[in-house]
Amino acid sequence: MQQPRLRIGTRGSALALAQAHEVRRRLMAAHGMTEAEIEIVVIRTTGDRIQDRPLSEAGGKGLFTKEIEEGLLDRSIDLAVHSMKDMPTVLPEGLAITAMLPREDVRDAFISSKWPSIEALPQGAVVGSSSLRRQAQLRRFRADLKVVMYRGNVETRLRKLGEGAVDATLLAVAGLKRLGLADRITATIADDFMLPAVAQGAIGIECRFDDEDTAALLDPLNDVSTSLCVTAERAFLGRLEGSCRTPIAGLGTLDDGVFTFRGEILTPDGSESHATSRSGAPAAAVQLATEAAEELLAKAGPGFFGAHG
């Protein structure tokens, strides 16, 4: 039996597997490899096991990556496929994001079997979301809504919605598209109405820093524009020391040779928010995003994150 040439580590959710299979297809197309040469290794993470409380209370983003990164470091896998939205801003020593696939739609989707939009929801309607950012943005727009914590993978959340647990929910358009569930979207929310999470819609591939052979195989998969924008967004998040406990939104875009960054921070109840934007040369993307973070820190004052986190 043929030994695999590459082993891809991934979480076991339908979305994570769809993303891992997309990476395998792209590797096969780029290098003429066969499916048997690329093994997909499912790794259960702490984040997958915790279903009874918000992840922000259990330790935040690294809960979805820790065990997979341990697999990279102990060489039981060669590369890992992640939703970049789940990635902590600081990676373990010896690991690097080597490539990012072309980014999917960055926007959020409104889903309801009863109502056509957020604006149409009746007073006191129940909206389920596991994202503190989406919760805060919803509360800012519609303080009358009852926004509740809503855990589970995409399929679980859609099932619970169908059973009437909530009147509506919000999910990433990218994930629904990758799962072939775009037809479930009731309305797509404009990114100037609800600024997305940092790195939303982006798939990153992580490998060992010293693994030049794997890095060379991944090089044709890297989308330069996505990588530039997401790297800047992550610099913004890192400067804010953002975690799952702080509602933070950030989006970089590249259009006709101009990089534009928009960033926003909110209190969890949506009662206070600060936003800013910057534009300039693509080479200055990280600097522009970092400056945006500095401005928001100055606007919010020293108590903003501590008091509300």
The residue range of the domain holding 156 is 108-189
pLDDT band with cut points at 50, 70 and 90 for residue 168: very high
Q: Alpha-carbon dihedral of residues 230, 233, 235, 237, nearest 10 degrees? A: -130
In a domain, 229, yes or no: no
Q: Are residues 113 and 176 in the same domain?
A: yes
Q: Is the pLDDT of residue 21 over 80?
A: yes
Q: Are residues 71 and 206 in the same domain?
A: yes
What number is the average pLDDT over the span 113-138?
Answer: 96
Q: Are residues 116 and 37 in the same domain?
A: no
Q: Are residues 61 and 114 in the same domain?
A: no
Q: Are residues 206 and 95 in the same domain?
A: yes
Question: What CATH number has the domain bearing residue 287?
Answer: 3.30.160.40
Q: Are residues 176 and 211 in the same domain?
A: no
In a domain, 182, yes or no: yes
In tens, the pLDDT along 50-77 reads: 555 555 555 556 677 889 999 999 999 9
The number of distinct structural domains making up the chain is 3
In a domain, 195, yes or no: no
In a domain, 194, yes or no: no
| Per-residue model confidence (pLDDT) at position 309 | 44
Q: Are residues 114 and 83 in the same domain?
A: no
In a domain, 232, yes or no: no
DSSP 244: T
In a domain, 92, yes or no: yes
Q: Are residues 20 and 96 in the same domain?
A: yes
- Top pLDDT among 300 and 279 is at 279
| Per-residue model confidence (pLDDT) at position 246 | 79
In a domain, 280, yes or no: yes
Q: Are residues 217 and 74 in the same domain?
A: yes
**For a pLDDT cut of 70, what percent of the chain falls above it?**
91
Q: Are residues 127 and 79 in the same domain?
A: no
In a domain, 243, yes or no: yes
DSSP 85: G
Q: Are residues 88 and 11 in the same domain?
A: yes
Question: What CATH number has the domain bearing residue 173?
Answer: 3.40.190.10
In tens, the pLDDT along 244-268 reads: 577 999 999 999 999 999 999 999 9
Q: Are residues 147 and 82 in the same domain?
A: no
Q: Model-level pTM greater than 0.85?
A: yes
Q: Pick the closest to residue 39 from 1, 83, 92, 91 (CA basis).
A: 1
Q: Give the residue numbers marked as catalytic.
A: 86
> Where do the DSSP E strands lie in the chain?
6-10, 38-42, 79-83, 95-100, 108-111, 126-128, 146-148, 168-172, 187-189, 203-208, 248-255, 258-266, 273-280
